[in-house]
Amino acid sequence: MENNNTNIVSTSSQKLDRKTQEKNRRIQMKYLYSKLFSLIPHHLSKEVLTQQDHVDQAITFIEELKERVEVLKRRKDEVVAQVTGDDSKKSISTTTCTIKTPTVKVRELDSTLEVILTSGLQKNFTLQEVIKIIEEEGAQVVTANYSTIDDTIYYTIHAQVKIIRLGVDASRIHLRLQKLVC
């Protein structure tokens, strides 16, 4: 009889351990889901989304980021090919390459703006002037980076639209920057 009671206590203890493990697993999954959801941008929507909807949004966002990375890699390869004067994916040569006139590219991506400027070392503008134009047109600069390769300077500026419903006029920014750098 005592052996039977020991088995009952042991079985009961195993059930409690499994319940505790399952509870801890659910708590851990809830934490991981919330961490994942905090990393994806939220659209201003009043509807309540299920956990599956949130996961689907995260998947979509990650796929969009992967596509964006591929586009940026291709663009980088194109720039490298232009600088080296070669269409293959070679590393940048050590010979001196000169871009005689500055170039300006402005892209609008939803509520963000990407400005890419290319100029020689003898530029006639400052980065501060470029940022001022972008901010006057209704965008707030988030990041501004530059790199120098041989005698060419590449500027990359990312900005966020201040008032999303009003947006920004990318063509107007492009024209103003074009006037500034040329």
Tell me the pLDDT tens digit for each residue of 57-92: 888 888 888 888 888 888 888 888 887 765 444 444
pTM: 0.44
Dist. CA 86–CA 73, nearest whole Å: 16
Strand stretches in 25-136, DSSP E: 103-109, 112-120
Count other Cβ atoms within 10 Å, centred on residue 113: 25
Q: Which of 9-13, 27-31, 80-84 has the lowest mean pLDDT?
A: 9-13
Q: How confident is the model at residue 28 (pLDDT cuts 50, 70, 90)?
A: very high
Name all domains of the chain by residue range, CATH numbers in brackets.
Answer: 96-181 (3.30.70)
